[in-house]
Chain A
Amino acid sequence: MSSKPVIIAQITDLHIKAPGELAYGKVDTAQALARCIAELNAFEPRPDLVVISGDLVDTPTSEEYEHLWRLLSPLTIPFVAVPGNHDSREMMRAAFADRAYAHSSGALDQARPLGPLDIVALDSHVTGKPHGLLEPATLAWLDATLTSSSTRPALVFLHHPPFRTGIEHMDVQDLFNADELADIIRRHPRVRLVAAGHVHRATLTTFAGTAATICPAPNHAVDLDLGALRVPSFRVEPPAFHLHVWFPGDDGGRLVTHHVPIGDFDGPHPFFGSDGKLL
């Protein structure tokens, strides 16, 4: 087995509107995504896969999905996408018809082998509701999919976090059947990460005995209000995405997640001069 790292970029909560429209009247989500994609395309070494963990569009409408398609078309890296609460399964199936969906109707669950890894993307969308739920068919499929190997490390992606963040107005709309997900994850120690979106902030915790993260968004962030002090709000914080890097190894391998801010930052500047001494 090759010892080359496997790089998965996770982007999330794109909230693409019809061309010219701003999210919440303020945020140009299309421009934010375009910048994010330019950064992904320029990143070296090239990521092996992009996972988009939900809320691809905002309302949702077919016009938004068409706009999304145009914005994604410059992306030179293959991608896997699952819906969030702002999406429509039906429209996503129409927009991305040629995808490896596990079921021919209903939830848009997908699994994809990626070198030594298995990438499993779950659909937690509930029609017309902001919270998330994994349907019985999804849970059964997840269990069966994870059973297909006991050794290959697996990364599980979904939109709704299966844990609280302390931001109350988001926590009331997280994954409602996190316990059922936890039962399955616990049975399959090969799951090395449960990665979500939805909250537009980077967080890190553990869940069912494995690492769990929320990926930040390329646009706006949910206000970090841990005391329900303010009305639900957002801030335009530095946009970012996650790079999950798998380092294969005889010790069973290791996953490292990097938080990558999006923007034109000064650098890179060398630490050392031509004489080899620290500058």
Chain B
Amino acid sequence: MTTAHGASVHIQNCGKTFADGTQALAPASLDIVSGETLVLLGPSGCGKTTMLRIIAGLETPDAGGRVLFDSTDMTAVPIEQRHVGMVFQSYALFPNMTVADNIGYGLKIRGVPKAERAARIAEMVALTNIGGLENRRIDQLSGGQRQRVALARAVAVRPRVLLLDEPLTALDASLRDRLRCELNRLLRELGITAIYVTHDQAEAMELGDRIVVMRKGAIAQIGTPREVYFAPQNRFVAEFVGAANIVEGPVASGRLTLSGGWLALDGAGDQPKAVAMIRPETIGIVTEGDAFWRGTVDSVSFIGDRQRIVVSGAADKPLTVDASNRINVRAGERVGLSVEPDAVRVLPGEA
């Protein structure tokens, strides 16, 4: 299949202040590489949708902000001339038109000849896994099928940038998981520049080449899913992306001292009150006698693929441990804990 890599996107100093003085977005800059999938992740009100709307041309940035596609300044270019594809929670499809006609609509009104149109529709149908539905009307489709058609329609015209705003949020959980996986494959195959807004960190992890974590109108961290997960730059990112134990204690001579013992760290300077993050799956349960760090099991929840164990007395607050589903511990039992030094992330500037 042909791949349209799309434009690189450069956001320079784009902020958005509303009339009442509230700042939806503090001036931010961001470069998105051609073909990259960039996810804007954060809770509601973090500014992610405002950022997307500025890129689309749905919103004008405050004075001084610029949006470039490749090297062309698009700041004053209206949305319909930016050649962006958009997929939202709501579908924007003709309810009584067939799937094929909906996908081909944008091509038809742009005067793409019939044969070429048919070929492109077939390509999009295959790509979005909706073979066999071509002649169904939209109002005969399920929500998941409709969203596939909306996606097919958006990419059929080969937009320079594909913008997706919580496209899976309205779907039920199992369908969401399946579509997320398909969307991931599709974005890789297309190699299109895509900007994806979500509040769901699992979606962000799976889909993003890079993730921009946002909070209160500002960028909290930009990084690959691994960087954001393993090396959060602050407590907000640590807690928003995945589960995290946030513990506090003094660091001296490469050791973090907690109420239940001490942990070795990878190259951290001394500080009287450090804040550190430990992911639940990086903590091991060992026999008490072998450990320098200990606690008491509060509760054990068997989840199937793992057990979620809450341990108290090990740190300033109860610790969550995701342990193998094979080990056998009970509430009230004293246990030892182990963690690799590189799994303990001292959060800069949080103390």
Binding site for B on A (CB under 8 A): 61-62, 65-66, 69-70, 73, 78, 90-91, 93-102, 104-105, 112-113, 144, 147-149
A152 to chain B, nearest CB (A): 11
Specify which of A61, A95, A104, A148 is in contact with B90 (CB 8 Å cutoff): A104
Do residues A100 and B96 form an inter-chain contact, with CB atoms below 8 A?
no
Do residues B105 and A66 form an inter-chain contact, with CB atoms below 8 A?
yes
How far, in whole Å, are A100 and B109 apart by their CA atoms in the complex?
A: 19
Do residues A94 and B92 form an inter-chain contact, with CB atoms below 8 A?
yes
Do residues B109 and A73 form an inter-chain contact, with CB atoms below 8 A?
yes
| Chain B residues positioned under 8 Å from A69 (CB to CB) | 109
A94 with B109, Cβ < 8 A, contacts A62-B97, A104-B88 known: no
Do residues B106 and A97 form an inter-chain contact, with CB atoms below 8 A?
yes
* B335 part of interface (Cβ distance < 8 Å): no
Do residues B93 and A70 form an inter-chain contact, with CB atoms below 8 A?
no
Do residues B94 and A91 form an inter-chain contact, with CB atoms below 8 A?
yes
A100 with B79, Cβ < 8 A, contacts A62-B97, A94-B102 known: yes
A26 to chain B, nearest CB (A): 27
| Chain B residues positioned under 8 Å from A61 (CB to CB) | 96
* B19 part of interface (Cβ distance < 8 Å): yes
Interface majority SS (helix, strand, loop, mixed), chain B: loop
Do residues B90 and A98 form an inter-chain contact, with CB atoms below 8 A?
no
Q: List 19 A-B contacts (CB under 8 A).
A: A62-B96, A66-B109, A70-B109, A78-B81, A90-B95, A91-B95, A93-B90, A94-B93, A94-B105, A95-B105, A98-B79, A100-B58, A100-B78, A104-B89, A105-B90, A113-B60, A144-B18, A148-B19, A149-B19
B21 to chain A, nearest CB (A): 10
| Chain B residues positioned under 8 Å from A113 (CB to CB) | 60
* B108 part of interface (Cβ distance < 8 Å): yes
**In the complex, how many residues of chain B place their beta carbon closer than 8 angstroms to a beta carbon of chain A?**
32
Do residues A97 and B86 form an inter-chain contact, with CB atoms below 8 A?
yes
Nearest chain A residue, comparing its CB with the CB of B20: A147
B188 to chain A, nearest CB (A): 24
A97 with B19, Cβ < 8 A, contacts A66-B108, A69-B109, A78-B80 known: no
- In order of increasing CB-CB distance, the 6 nearest A-B pairs are A147-B19, A148-B19, A62-B94, A105-B90, A69-B109, A93-B92
How far, in whole Å, are A99 and B88 apart by their CA atoms in the complex?
A: 13
| Chain A residues positioned under 8 Å from B165 (CB to CB) | 104
* B47 part of interface (Cβ distance < 8 Å): no
A8 to chain B, nearest CB (A): 14
* B57 part of interface (Cβ distance < 8 Å): yes
| Chain A residues positioned under 8 Å from B101 (CB to CB) | 62
| Chain B residues positioned under 8 Å from A101 (CB to CB) | 58
Do residues A78 and B78 form an inter-chain contact, with CB atoms below 8 A?
yes
Do residues B94 and A99 form an inter-chain contact, with CB atoms below 8 A?
no
B90 to chain A, nearest CB (A): 4
* B297 part of interface (Cβ distance < 8 Å): no
| Chain A residues positioned under 8 Å from B19 (CB to CB) | 144, 147-149
How far, in whole Å, are A69 and B78 apart by their CA atoms in the complex?
A: 18
Specify which of A96, A105, A112 is in contact with B89 (CB 8 Å cutoff): A105
